[in-house]
Structure 1
Amino acid sequence: MRPDLRDPRLIMLVLAILSLIAALVALKITIRRPSFDLLAVVDITGSMNVRDYAASGLPVSRLDAVKAALRAMLVEAPCTSHLSLGIFSERKTFLLFEPIDVCVDFAPLEASIEALDWRMAWEGDSRVSAGLFGAIDLARQLKSDLLFFTDGQEAPPLPARGAPTFEGRAGEVRGLVVGVGGYELSPIPKFDDRGREIGFLGVDDVPHESRFGLPPEGAERREGYNARNAPFGAAVAVGVEHLSSVREDYLRSLAEKTGLAYAHLEDGKRLWSDYAAVASARSREGAFDLRPFFGSAAALFIFFAAAGPWLARALVRLRQAVLINSQPRPGRSK
């Protein structure tokens, strides 16, 4: 008995076989596409442990929020883009690895981001401005854009003269200063020497004023002031440095000074859109794999070949039901 070449199921099976063959032998084609090179530097100092973000209804730390946003951002980035990762602590930016492909090396990138931890910090101080200036210099060497994640809290606080001068060329590196944290003051978790959380920092655990350089205006009115021996006065300054919120005004001023843009951290998609608005797109050749498309087509053809008779019967029953319901009922006038 000769097969009916017009049988839809036979046609679907033939197309499925052809698609499977194409999926096995299809070669990758090379196309040019826009891509991005970026250096992500993450502040891992103590205030980044503040839990003023939420995920699945539970509070999460600023550092965990940064990690989640970075992982989500990798999904949004086009293939052939490259990411390098660094951390900031004390006054230095340390490069963990140079740029690698966000698609080919997605798994190690994701694992490296997940492994970021505040225990990697080598000092407790947080000279945000110095860290940002170092990160800009590093991004310039890597020929990459910059994402610098920080809450902006300097520890100890800035001296009276303010932040140090930026000696680079504003706008030479593009990218974002990303402000991390809520706008309300929150307690900073405190840890013992073994890294176990034991509460929150108290008012006496941190300095509330920098005593480097010249004293602030009005210092001469402080108790115990002596121009030579006690230019800051005798009393210890008390403030709110044991609490933390995103220092947005300060971060905006740093961004303006360095020629970067500013964005507040919300989520990965928002982070990607904020970055893409100021990024340096590069046209780069990349491999485009056709096999997933042929494989998906084969699966669809097999589905329609198997479900074809059932779908046909369902369509016939549906058509009959529509025709029956459209007929006038007995006893009802037209």
Structure 2
Amino acid sequence: MGRPDARTLVLAAAFLLALAAIVAPQLQRPTDAYRLLAVVDITGSMNVRDYSFEGRPASRLDTVKRTLSGLAARLPCGSRMGLGIFTERRTYLLFEPVEVCTAFAPLEGAIGALNWRMAWEGDSYIYSGLYSAVDLAGPLDADLIFLTDGQEAPPLPASGAPAFAGERGKVRGLVVGVGGIEPAPIPKFDRDGREIGFYAMTDVPQENRHGLPPTGSEQREGWHPRNAPWGADEAAGQEHLSAVRTDHLKDLAEATGLTYAPLADAGTLAAEVKASARPHPVAGTMDTAPLPAALALLLLAGLYLAQLWDRRPLFLRNRRISAS
């Protein structure tokens, strides 16, 4: 009985490696996972299109949804993510944190289904929404990701936002600033949800005239301490335009013990999460099947390429002989 040729040996080795891939064990190893609650601002200013995607303008909300889906795909298995929405004064929990690998499809679907039409009011008290999100995340033992452009509507009074009444730093996580730094027009919709243009200065309050007037208001035209403490003229401003309110969001993050980060791509957001959130050790697994499977594939590919080389056209062989 003759010795087997090289082709037979390669096929046998590839067969054995394929069998090894089928029965390859999964090795247990500890890994760091995360438990997160992502809260998305769905108020009107999140419809501003100051991002781009595939060469087209993209709204802040659509950009947030793509980034959150990418974040979920990058989290290690064993991590859990819940989802909530913010509008008006409070955060509403859609569902508690679910495992990102086994429940990835419904999680991605829920993120993709977020829509500004889900809002129950048009106001946007960012500070109140963040405070209520912190209150939601605490009992869930989750770190918070609060994604917003920070535009208060109506504007904050001269006294500023109310102080945070909770325990600073009890909940960890991120306040993510969404939007460009240049003011951009806010799309306007009719009662049927059809876009009909952009908000004008007269469409939205330009100043909050509750509480005490701001310092220097006595210099305004028509000022009267009792009858016109803010002056006689209508307020003017840029509240009908929107840009990310970085300073305001940094102040809120500082007050609650969270970390501020501007919205970037999913990889950057994942790195920010790992830097600010609490890792939870879980029993992870490492599948060893890809290694023998890849070796088997390489052997078969090499065998196929060798056969192609042996069957190359005659003139190529003659060129090699003549050259030598």
1:203 corresponds, among 201, 204, 207, to 201
Provide Cα deviations, 1:74-110, integer angstroms capped at 9, x if missing partner: 2321111111111110111111111111111111111
- 2:190 is matched with which residue? 192
Q: Which amino acid aligns with 2:38?
A: A
- 2:236 is matched with which residue? 238
Deviation, structure 1 residue 287: 3.7
Provide Cα deviations, 1:232-252, integer angstroms capped at 9, x if missing partner: 333321110000111111111
Shift of the 140–222 alpha-carbon distance from structure 1 to 2, 3 Å rule, reads same
- 2:7 is matched with which residue? 9
- 1:260 is matched with which residue? 258
Give unpaired runs (5+ residues) of structure 1: 328-334
Q: Which amino acid aligns with 1:175?
A: G
Shift of the 214–77 alpha-carbon distance from structure 1 to 2, 3 Å rule, reads same
Q: Hey, what's the Cα distance between the residues in 1 that align with 2:320 and 2:167? A: 73
Q: Hey, what's the Cα distance between the residues in 2 that align with 1:11 and 1:121? A: 67
Question: Secondary structure at the residue paired with 1:159?
Answer: coil
Q: Hey, what's the Cα distance between the residues in 2 that align with 1:289 and 1:62? A: 38
Q: Hey, what's the Cα distance between the residues in 1 that align with 2:164 and 2:319? A: 77
Deviation, structure 1 residue 138: 1.4
Q: Does 215-224 or 116-125 show the bigger shift?
A: 215-224
Shift of the 10–242 alpha-carbon distance from structure 1 to 2, 3 Å rule, reads same
Shift of the 77–323 alpha-carbon distance from structure 1 to 2, 3 Å rule, reads farther
Q: Hey, what's the Cα distance between the residues in 2 that align with 1:217 and 1:291? A: 70
- 1:330 is matched with which residue? none
Give the paired residue count. Answer: 322
Q: Hey, what's the Cα distance between the residues in 2 that align with 1:70 and 1:108? A: 13
- 1:58 is matched with which residue? 56
Q: Which amino acid aligns with 1:140?
A: G
Question: Secondary structure at the residue paired with 1:16?
Answer: helix
Deviation, structure 1 residue 17: 2.6
Question: Secondary structure at the residue paired with 1:51?
Answer: coil
TM-score calculated relative to the size of structure 1: 0.87
Q: Are the equivalent residues in 2 in contact too, given 1:40–1:86 (CA < 8 A)?
A: yes
- 2:304 is matched with which residue? 306
- 1:273 is matched with which residue? 271
- 2:249 is matched with which residue? 251
Question: Secondary structure at the residue paired with 1:166?
Answer: coil
- 2:16 is matched with which residue? 18
Q: Hey, what's the Cα distance between the residues in 1 that align with 2:310 and 2:208? A: 80
Q: Are the equivalent residues in 2 in contact too, given 1:82–1:99 (CA < 8 A)?
A: yes
Shift of the 323–306 alpha-carbon distance from structure 1 to 2, 3 Å rule, reads closer
Shift of the 233–289 alpha-carbon distance from structure 1 to 2, 3 Å rule, reads same
Shift of the 273–311 alpha-carbon distance from structure 1 to 2, 3 Å rule, reads farther
Shift of the 309–40 alpha-carbon distance from structure 1 to 2, 3 Å rule, reads same
Provide Cα deviations, 1:264-298, integer angstroms capped at 9, x if missing partner: 11211111122222221111013444444454444
Q: Hey, what's the Cα distance between the residues in 2 that align with 1:41 and 1:321? A: 68
Q: Hey, what's the Cα distance between the residues in 2 that align with 1:105 and 1:296? A: 28
Q: Which amino acid aligns with 1:4?
A: R
Deviation, structure 1 residue 25: 4.0
Give unpaired runs (5+ residues) of structure 2: none
Q: Does 22-31 or 73-82 show the bigger shift?
A: 22-31
Q: Are the equivalent residues in 2 in contact too, given 1:90–1:122 (CA < 8 A)?
A: yes
2:65 corresponds, among 49, 52, 67, to 67
Q: Are the equivalent residues in 2 in contact too, given 1:10–1:305 (CA < 8 A)?
A: no
Deviation, structure 1 residue 19: 3.5
Q: Hey, what's the Cα distance between the residues in 2 that align with 1:86 and 1:235? A: 40
Shift of the 107–8 alpha-carbon distance from structure 1 to 2, 3 Å rule, reads farther
- 2:126 is matched with which residue? 128
Shift of the 3–226 alpha-carbon distance from structure 1 to 2, 3 Å rule, reads farther
Identity %: 52
